[in-house]
Structure 1
Amino acid sequence: MNGKQRMAAQSRQWLVEAFFELLKHHDYHQITVKDISAQAQLSRRTFYRTFKDKEALLDYYGNEMVHNYLQRLTNLSAQKMTFEQVLITFFAFWYDQRNEIRLLIKQNLFMVLLAKLSPQAPKLYDVFQAPWHIKGSKQEVAYVMSFSFGGFWNILNMWLVKEQPDSPEEVAHTLLKALKKMTYQ
């Protein structure tokens, strides 16, 4: 990464941080590009070189979180690729983002991200190989991923809105317990 690219990445990071700082005290619809730029101590011109609008900033954040999660998931060794470990990794990742996620939930923006990221879910299926993946058609994989993506997103929406959410391990084990009961009936 050259100096210009590093500066652009740093500007994006500062703008995202400024956006979340503003969300702590203001309604999303009241926040302007001018507010975000001022909070980040950057010009509006820099904002518009980086993002089309604040919705694009939110999209960027969502895409970055999914990308970062997949990076963490691909770092799991093949020996640790159990469904339990994947669940714990999933919930631990999002738990680390809980302050930002809680702000998005309270501002009714978290489900907006779901709607924008959900169409990408079938593509995520091929990112890592897991023993429980089906070898199905594109449509079958789309059904499985839509079901999974929506279910996990709804758990995050319910879980991370709490001031003191349960640990990632507790949530993963609760879900595992229920899934095991469903499969053995």
Structure 2
Amino acid sequence: MNRMNYRIALQSKRMLMNGLIKLMETYDFSMITVTQICQESGLSRRTFYRLYNTREEIIDEYMSTLADEFIHMLAVASPRHYTEVAAVYFEFWKQHEIFLNLLKKNKMLERIYHISGEIAPAVFQKVKPDIELNDMTRSYCLSYSLGGLNGMLIKWVDDGMKLSSEQIKTILDGALHIALI
């Protein structure tokens, strides 16, 4: 693919993502059609099917772009402990409050767990580069950490996202201290 076609494809993907997210503000995801997405984004069905097979692929790609954004935010923050990562995580999601509420409304919050699982090894490597774990131990530790973190995220969303990332960090610090006693 030449540079021009690549830029056009990226622009079309952004337009489809924005169109779908706008539609999700009004309609349940399950009721949104490819035709509606195309009409909202001003693109043809042919363009949609050249770039995606399903509506879900748009959400997954958007989530991947958010994951990249989170990794960048994490690199800037340089956390050294799990609770510091959690603070960055909640700060990041506060910036995407509208999208979180759309996921909640459409019963799609579990997608965050899946994308978090994909980036967790890279996050662990950035935060704890000196710790080497075998694959199985790392896999179970990350699953445990992600389960708790995403469980807290769901609770936070359900509670209206009122707590700050620092308040979440303080709660998590306390919970981890109690667990270690």
Q: What's 1:19 paired with? A: 20
Once the two structures are superposed, the pairs formed by residues 82-101 of structure 1 within 5 Å of their partners are: 82-101=81-100
1:142: how far off? 0.3
Deviations 1:67-125 (A, max 9, x none): 22112212234xx53444322211111111111011111211111442x4365255335
Q: Report whether the alignment pairs 1:177 with 2:178.
A: no
Q: Structure 1 178/163 Cα, relative in aligned 2: closer, same or farther at 3 Å?
A: closer
| Partners of 1:106 and 1:157 in 2: CA distance | 12
Identity %: 26
| Partners of 1:146 and 1:82 in 2: CA distance | 17
TM-score (norm: length of structure 1) = 0.84
| Partners of 2:119 and 2:140 in 1: CA distance | 10
SS for the counterpart of 1:100 is: helix
Gaps of 5+ in 2: none
TM-score (norm: length of structure 2) = 0.86
| Partners of 1:153 and 1:134 in 2: CA distance | 23
Gaps of 5+ in 1: none
Once the two structures are superposed, the pairs formed by residues 61-72 of structure 1 within 5 Å of their partners are: 61-72=62-73
Once the two structures are superposed, the pairs formed by residues 1-185 of structure 1 within 5 Å of their partners are: 2-77=3-78, 81-114=80-113, 116-117=114-115, 120=118, 123-125=121-123, 127-130=125-128, 134-183=131-180, 185=181
Q: Structure 1 61/112 Cα, relative in aligned 2: closer, same or farther at 3 Å?
A: same
Assess if the C-alpha contact under 8 Å between 2:25 and 2:102 holds in 1: yes
1:164: how far off? 5.0
1:134: how far off? 4.5
